[in-house]
């Protein structure tokens, strides 16, 4: 297992910028707004030729028990407890403030190897704070600028030395030796699963219940989650990359810059997911925003599973479930047959069935239909309901094949494709879904104009 490195420090000292710089990805949200990071974010990086696991943490602050800041600090302390190395970051332009001294003492008490980083040292503004950092008792500070990438070579050398490793050069054939999902190793790759929904609906509580630990900050306050945090875990021997996201509200209600960044990160998580679990409230289901999020998932071509949370508060459960299924068929027609799973994130109920439906939806999303079976179905569908005539001439659908999966995408070749009505296309989509058992995933049928065999060919 690769070494774990935790990045800690006060809010707004550049921890997330350093995390992005070391991982080579813009994974963590970065802004001038202090306290933007609240949950632990993990990422993979190569330091001196060695694979390591980086953890970006919330800013360390003095806080009253039970407050949001106190819960953030508990997450940061958990990251320090499980780390092999701690990167303590301070803002060289601010110098050493009393909070830096207090938290440096805490890091020393944990007994973990630590590297002291004086960030924002570009120019002369940070020189005084750099020399002041010696008094923290964490060794010689490393002067860097995470934003501009300065001083990273010295930082890598210090990290490798603190871990007791040696810098090695990456072989040219190392990338080629790594498994490729297209080469048949798909089973070793995790299912990318995003948990989405309105604010304060229980997404983070559901994530904690699936993981079996208090990994995400939870509470009655809406908007606690900001980053789209990815966590790897296993379920029934199947690797899963679970992504907790910020609550999505209507655009008109999003005014704060932090919430705008969080909403953009949540939408990006949907785009890169394979299966999306839409969490709705059992007492207030399928509100306008729920349907908007569901439509976005379908538009992005992701498989969808609906988790009806707070099911323990429902009185007449069978009646309620039948009503919800009828509503979903009506209002989420673009993913007809979507799985509805009743869960209680707080009580840990329904989690096994939820994950079974996630795996099932993932397999449907990847399914391919043989061309022979597809065209036999097409003949039967056309016989039951022929394509309507346009301007006195009937539109003929001659042939169909599956172009790709993820989501299932089909190409139909027909004369005068532009004249085929949308209503008839919906008929073909619904019939195709029923014939080949493709519930809960968007189906795309693209029309291509077939060549006229009697038309003169170009030479």
pLDDT tens readout for residues 162-205: 988 766 655 544 444 444 444 444 446 899 999 999 988 989 89
306: CATH: 3.40.50.300
Residues 54 and 22 placed together within one structural domain of the fold: yes
Residue 284: which residues within 8 A CB-CB, separation 6 or more?
none
**Structure token digits, residue 279:** 């969490």
For residue 99, give its domain range: 4-177
pLDDT at 320 over 90: yes
pLDDT at 397 over 70: yes
Query: End of a domain among 128, 146, 177?
Result: 177
pLDDT at 27 over 80: no
In a domain, 249, yes or no: yes
Pick the range with the lowest mean pLDDT from 11-25, 241-255, 299-313, 332-346.
Answer: 241-255
Residues 377 and 361 placed together within one structural domain of the fold: no
Query: End of a domain among 332, 365, 398?
Result: 365
Query: End of a domain among 155, 177, 199?
Result: 177
Best CA proximity match to 8, nearest among 56, 78, 64, 51: 56
Residues 163 and 227 placed together within one structural domain of the fold: no
The count of domains in the chain is 3
pLDDT for the residue numbered 444: 94
Residues 186 and 168 placed together within one structural domain of the fold: no
Residues 445 and 417 placed together within one structural domain of the fold: yes
Residues 172 and 224 placed together within one structural domain of the fold: no
pTM of the model: 0.74
Residues 200 and 341 placed together within one structural domain of the fold: yes
Q: Which residue has the higher pLDDT, 100 or 360?
A: 360
Best CA proximity match to 115, nearest among 142, 75, 147, 150: 142
Residue 5: which residues within 8 A CB-CB, separation 6 or more?
47, 52, 53, 54, 55, 83, 84, 85, 86, 87, 159
In a domain, 94, yes or no: yes
Residues 303 and 419 placed together within one structural domain of the fold: no
As a whole number, mean pLDDT of residues 42-50 equals 86
pLDDT at 16 over 80: yes
Best CA proximity match to 431, nearest among 366, 387, 396: 387
Q: Using one digit for the tens of pLDDT, what is the confidence trace for 210-223?
A: 988 887 777 666 65
Q: Using one digit for the tens of pLDDT, what is the confidence trace for 398-455?
A: 889 999 999 999 999 987 778 888 899 999 999 999 999 999 999 999 988 765 444 5
In a domain, 148, yes or no: yes
Residues 247 and 187 placed together within one structural domain of the fold: yes
d(CA 89, CA 116): 6
In a domain, 132, yes or no: yes
Residues 285 and 355 placed together within one structural domain of the fold: yes
In a domain, 458, yes or no: no
378: CATH: 3.30.300.20
As a whole number, mean pLDDT of residues 88-101 equals 88
The answer to whether residues 207 and 195 touch, using CB atoms and an 8 Å cutoff, is yes
Residues 197 and 330 placed together within one structural domain of the fold: yes
């Amino acid at each position: 297992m690769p070494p774990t490195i935790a990045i800690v420090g006060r809010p707004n000292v550049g921890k997330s910028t350093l995390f992005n710089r070391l991982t080579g990805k813009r994974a963590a949200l970065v802004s001038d707004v202090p306290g933007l990071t609240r949950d632990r974010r993990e990422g993979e990086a190569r330091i001196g030729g060695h694979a390591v696991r980086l953890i970006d943490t919330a800013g360390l602050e003095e806080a009253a028990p039970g407050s949001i800041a106190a819960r953030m600090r508990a997450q940061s302390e958990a990251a320090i407890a499980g780390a092999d190395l701690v990167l303590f970051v301070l803002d060289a332009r601010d110098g050493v403030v009393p909070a830096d001294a207090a938290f440096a003492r805490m890091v020393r008490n944990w007994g973990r190897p630590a590297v002291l980083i004086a960030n924002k040292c570009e120019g002369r503004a940070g020189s005084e704070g750099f020399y002041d950092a010696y008094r923290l008792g964490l060794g010689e500070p490393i002067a860097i600028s995470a934003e501009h990438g300065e001083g990273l070579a010295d930082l890598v050398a210090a990290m490798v030395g603190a871990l007791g490793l040696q810098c090695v050069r990456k072989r040219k054939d190392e990338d080629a030796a790594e498994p490729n999902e297209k080469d048949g190793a798909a089973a070793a790759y995790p299912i990318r699963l995003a948990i989405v929904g309105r604010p304060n609906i229980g997404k983070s509580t559901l994530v904690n219940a699936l993981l079996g630990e208090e990994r995400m900050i939870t509470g009655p306050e809406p908007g606690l989650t900001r980053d789209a945090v990815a966590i790897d875990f296993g379920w029934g021997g199947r690797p899963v990359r679970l992504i907790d996201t910020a609550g999505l509200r209507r655009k008109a209600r999003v005014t704060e810059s932090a919430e705008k960044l969080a909403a953009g990160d949540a939408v990006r998580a949907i785009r890169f997911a394979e299966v999306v679990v839409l969490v709705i409230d059992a007492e207030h289901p399928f509100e306008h925003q729920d349907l908007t999020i569901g439509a976005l998932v379908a538009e992005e071509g992701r498989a969808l599973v609906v988790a009806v949370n707070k099911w323990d508060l429902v009185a007449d459960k069978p009646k309620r479930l039948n009503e919800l299924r009828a509503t979903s068929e009506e209002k989420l027609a673009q993913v007809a047959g979507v799985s509805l799973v009743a869960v209680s994130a707080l009580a840990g109920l329904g989690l096994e069935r939820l994950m079974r439906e996630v795996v099932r939806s993932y397999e449907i999303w990847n399914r391919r239909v043989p061309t022979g079976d597809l065209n036999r179905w097409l003949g039967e569908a056309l016989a039951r309901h022929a394509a309507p005539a346009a301007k006195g001439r009937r539109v003929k659908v001659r042939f169909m094949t599956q172009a790709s999966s993820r989501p299932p995408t089909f190409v139909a070749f027909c004369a005068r494709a532009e004249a085929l009505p949308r209503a008839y296309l919906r008929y073909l989509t619904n019939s195709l879904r029923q014939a080949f058992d493709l519930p809960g995933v968007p189906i795309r049928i693209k029309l291509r104009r077939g060549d006229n065999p009697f038309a003169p060919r170009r030479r």
